[in-house]
Chains A and B, each alone.
Chain A
Amino acid sequence: MTGVAELERRVEAGEDGLGDILEVSMGPHHPSTHGVFRMDVRLEGEKVVRLKPVFGYLHRNHEKIAEHGAYLAAIPYTDRLDYLNSMTNNWGYVLAVEKLAGIPVPERAEYIRVIVAELSRFQNHAGLVGFLLQDMGASGTPLMYAFREREKILDLFESLSGARMMCNYMRFGGLRVDCTPAWLEEVRQLVSGLPKFVDEFEALLRGNEILMARTQGVGVLPRELAINAGVTGPMLRASGVNYDIRKVDHYGVYDRFDFRVPLGDHGDVYDRYMMRILEMRESLKILQQAVRDIPGGPIIDPKTRLRGLRPKAGEAYGRIEAPKGELGFFLISDGSTIPCRYRVRPPSMINLTILEDMCLGHNIADVVVILGSVDIVLGEVDR
């Protein structure tokens, strides 16, 4: 409560103009903060003059836990980072281990990874847009429509991996279980139906005058600041920077698919909202191609040692384009079965760096909308 102490000090010092400045502690239990997240906001009237994000309420020292277990034992813990996208979290981690130990991945496994990652991206964006609109006061309706489609994707995850959210599906060198032809057929059917949902969803609010008034020109993130602050993912692309790790790093088999990277122009909340809708469409494009082209073959490299993996001493940084931005894992091995250093690069935490810059000068009601457009998950911010 440094803010309160500061205010008390100023009251005691008898400073003038105190009536105009109001300290508000938004959160940690505030419905708009998407979890236990707090913002120390200083207001002048209704205008934000200072905003400091405060987090750590969900801190469980994920990295320390991983540094106490085998390489395999960290996979289920990565599910719980960004708990909406356990599939992409798994992928980021296994990619780093594969780089560290030089493990090849069979082609079929790469295709299934792309399929589950893009399904994951779709449901994340659908959910985020629903939450964002909920924050703006579109109570329930868009969120429920988004969750209805998300439900269908989670059902697919469950029939594939056994769990809806904590999938624990990928392994270094491949995957845990293979998908059946029937499952692929279900994906094909779902993917053919989803464009209709996106159209409807867009029609629901795209032209809505209230939405435009609330989002256009709000929370503008300039291009240079976005780059310098390490903002990644849809947030960055909404500011007009063409940087998608799927295109830049050519990881997995993303090279083989024809898809485009949507870019924004203004970097405001409306652009970030549209960016998610456009990315959902691109994900569907990738999914259609991946389901069509998936080859047969093994799903895991037969020489991989899952239990008791001992990578050579050294280090590796592996990163993927997670739905929220660049998700990276940095591993240092000392030649034993336990990672010597395990570090997550959490995209949603780093995207929060510029929260203050985006909010300054806006009304307090806009802070909620701006935070909603950043797309944070506290499991990942606090780790």
Chain B
Amino acid sequence: MTALPTAEDLKAQIEAGVPGAQVTVIPNASPSAQHSLLLDHEHAPAVALFLRDHPDLRLDLCTLVTGVDWLDTETTEKIKVKKVVPGPVGAGIEQEVEETRKTKIPGYLEAVYHLFSMEKKHDPPAMPVVLRLRTANRIDQTHVPSLTPVWRSCEFQEREAFDLYGIVFDGHPDLRRILMWDGFEDYPMRKDYVPPADDSLASLPFASLQRASTKEAR
């Protein structure tokens, strides 16, 4: 049983071990304190290999792969800006003006990987190592590199993330829908998913009864 390096140390190790890799530590404020590492697409497979084969880390078990959907968010903040306002005499006067600035943060899809080591069995508090990969947006640039070549356990779970979130894993050997049927088009786990209106269930007699008897689903 050995302790695992902290997220910051891991970042340093990765950056030393994989030249060019950009790693960002994403802190986690909850009591679990499971911080995660955001990887860049280009070096992600190399970083994954590094983590798997490093003699002290040996993160050989990629236990959980999941998609997460982050919608577009808009933040409004009031900021004070210095502006030159035309003065009464013609000359500009510098004045502090309060402005509301709206920043639109585009949403993205995220693939999250949880790693453990079967060989080293690190002490639990620092576990697991969490890796994150983010897509550029939610609409057309939804590609991330697949880590299935590194950990076979990602195979079905990446397929599931593709099926339910629409994250495309480049380099996955067999990227097909897994839970939904082949002809299905939408991605049901996305936050803005709307079930089709012509739900075949609605035509069944109990659907109308249910609607009368219970409130509409939240």
Contact = CB atoms under 8 A, between A and B. Distances in A.
Contact between chain A and chain B defined by CB under 8 Å: yes
B118 A326 contact: no
Contacts of A341: 66, 68
Contacts of A63: 164, 189
A285 interface: no
Nearest to A382: B179
Contacts of A59: 179-180
Nearest to B52: A228
Given A100-B30, A248-B124, A312-B29, A343 B152 contact: no
Interface in A316-356: 316-317, 319, 326, 328, 330, 332-333, 341, 343, 345, 349-350, 352-354
B31 A101 contact: yes
Nearest to A328: B64
A137 interface: no
Contacts of A225: 152
A56 B178 CA distance: 7
B156 to A, nearest CB: 6
B28 to A, nearest CB: 5
B188 A61 contact: yes
A55 interface: yes
Contacts of A249: 124, 127
A102 B31 contact: yes
Interface string B62-97: 111010100000000000000000000000000000
A344 to B, nearest CB: 9
Contact of B30 (A251, A311, A349, A350): A311
Q: Chain A, interface size: which category?
A: 35 or more
Contacts, number: 117
Contacts of B16: none
B218 interface: yes
A315 B188 contact: no
A114 B59 CA distance: 29
Contact of A319 (B63, B156, B188): B63
Nearest to B128: A317
Contacts of A217: none
B181 to A, nearest CB: 7
A354 B156 contact: no
Main secondary structure of the interface of A (DSSP, over half): mixed
B179 A317 contact: no
Interface string A202-243: 000000000000000000000001011111100000000101
B32 interface: yes
Contacts of B181: 56
B50 interface: no
A174 B173 CA distance: 44
Contact of A55 (B36, B151, B157, B178): B178
Contact of B63 (A69, A100, A230, A332): A230
A319 to B, nearest CB: 7
A349 B156 contact: yes
B217 interface: yes
A330 B64 contact: yes
Nearest to A347: B63
Contacts of B178: 55-56
Interface residues of B, number: 40
Given A64-B188, A227-B60, A350 B156 contact: yes
B155 interface: yes
B142 interface: no
Contact of A227 (B29, B118, B156, B189): B118
A188 interface: no
A346 B128 CA distance: 17
Given A230-B151, A250-B124, A317 B114 contact: yes
Interface string B120-162: 0100100110100000000000000000000111111100000
Given A326-B63, A349-B156, A316 B188 contact: no
Contacts of B164: 61, 63
Interface string A46-79: 0000000001100101011000110000000000
A220 to B, nearest CB: 16
B30 A330 contact: no
Contacts of B51: none
Contact of A316 (B32, B66, B121): B32
B63 A229 contact: no
Contacts of A317: 32, 34, 64, 114, 128, 130
Contact of A228 (B153, B179, B217, B218): B153
26 contacts: A55-B178, A55-B179, A56-B179, A99-B30, A99-B31, A100-B31, A102-B32, A230-B62, A230-B153, A230-B154, A232-B63, A243-B61, A248-B124, A250-B124, A251-B124, A312-B31, A315-B28, A315-B34, A316-B30, A316-B31, A316-B34, A317-B32, A350-B153, A350-B157, A352-B156, A382-B179
6 interchain residue pairs of minimum CB distance: A230-B153, A314-B30, A102-B31, A316-B32, A56-B179, A229-B152
Given A100-B32, A243-B118, A341-B68, 14 more contacts: A56-B181, A63-B189, A101-B30, A227-B60, A227-B118, A229-B152, A229-B153, A232-B63, A314-B29, A314-B32, A330-B66, A345-B63, A353-B155, A383-B179
